[in-house]
Structure 1
Amino acid sequence: MAASTATRPADLTVDAATLIADIEAYLADQAPRTAHPLVTKTTAELVAEALATPPAASEQQAPTLTAPNRLWRIIPDWALALTPARRLHGAGRAITVTQHLELTALVIQQYGWHRGALRSRGGARCILGAQAVLYRLGYGDEATAAAAGQQMQNVLRRRGIDEPYHRWNDSSQRTLDDALHLIREAVTNTRQENS
């Protein structure tokens, strides 16, 4: 059966659209502001913005995703590229290495973390599996994912670990906190390199 004629459950379509909408909202918030504020805002908006209490730094950088339901978590990764929401973005959307790393952490937080394989039967993902979700949905390309992987590998090398990050993830002593800490340290290092 051709992929374009396959029927998909309604909740799969909603979850795909929700996940992509959440990622898009995060990326829109991260986009650099190139226009002068006076060009895009009214005086009332500027006054209200100036008087508003700025959000904490963690609130500014922490995107939120709606947790996917069980069906969305367990479909094969190749099927992510066939979702109607994914097709809206064509061949893909360029994201930075920092954004890729942050979104990798979010996928792990939402789907659950796994070791020993790219994914569990219940849909939990390892670090590499979470990167695959982003790639299949069209966020970033192979070069972005490879550069993000290199950043995580650099963190491990600084710790004196030569093992590839995906094998490090699969170690029996590894925990969810270890995996997220690795990703977040890579985010911090990438930001420092780019500033």
Structure 2
Amino acid sequence: MPTLIAPELAVDAASLIADIEAYLAEQAPKTAHPLVTKTTAQLIAEALAPPAHGPETAPELTAPSRRWRIIPDWALALTPARRLHGAGRPITVTQHLELTALVLQQYGWHRGGLRSRGGARCILGAQAVLYRLGYGDEATALAAGEAMQNVLRRRGIDQAYHAWNDQPGRTQGEALQLIREATTG
């Protein structure tokens, strides 16, 4: 079956997917016991390996190119991650929220719609990017939305979080703060 994504777009998709995978790999020890995810041979090899020299550094985040940001969102479902994970790679609500912030930081933040002509996303649009790439499922995205809604309720705001995002005067910093507050409950 011929690919429908231009090669340069696939490179940008690979970059975003690599950043998400690096984040999820970093989170793995926090979400599962390491003995559950490693074979006996891996544990033995790890125990016999010489100590690492220096701390590992997190991958540098780079924004997707303009061409990648402006392709239709439905095309995200054609990426290798979505094909690999099928209905979606399971992630926690906290991971979904943190990855939503990552998408806003890489694509840019927008208010007044799911996305701008240049590819910037609102909070809901960033959640859609994750879902279409195959990270999490609808239940995870809804639970993350409820967590953000709870933060707004504690602030005395009854407006839906996606409508709150679109209010005149709202800033990217405020949107990211809402997401970060929702990760802590």
SS at match of 1:73: helix
Q: Is the 8 A contact 2:109 2:122 kept in 1?
A: yes
Aligned match for 2:154, one of 140, 154, 158 = 158
Q: Which residue of 1 aligns with 2:24?
A: 27
Q: Deviations over 1:67-108 (max 9, x none)?
A: 100111001111100123431222220000000000000000
Q: Which residue of 2 aligns with 1:146?
A: 142
Q: Is the 8 A contact 1:115 1:171 kept in 2?
A: yes
What 5-or-longer segments of structure 2 have no aligned partner? none
Aligned match for 1:115, one of 111, 114, 126 = 111
Structure 2 residue 38 is the aligned partner of structure 1 residue 42? no
Aligned-partner Cα distance in 2 for 1:64–1:149: 28
What 5-or-longer segments of structure 1 have no aligned partner? 190-195
In the comparison of the two structures, how many residue pairs are matched? 177
Q: Which residue of 2 aligns with 1:130?
A: 126
The RMSD of aligned alpha carbons is 2.3
How high is the TM-score relative to the length of structure 2? 0.86
Residue identity matched to 1:149: G
Q: Is the 8 A contact 1:74 1:121 kept in 2?
A: yes
Aligned match for 2:89, one of 90, 93, 110 = 93
How high is the TM-score relative to the length of structure 1? 0.82
Aligned-partner Cα distance in 1 for 2:81–2:141: 21
Q: Is the 8 A contact 2:100 2:127 kept in 1?
A: yes
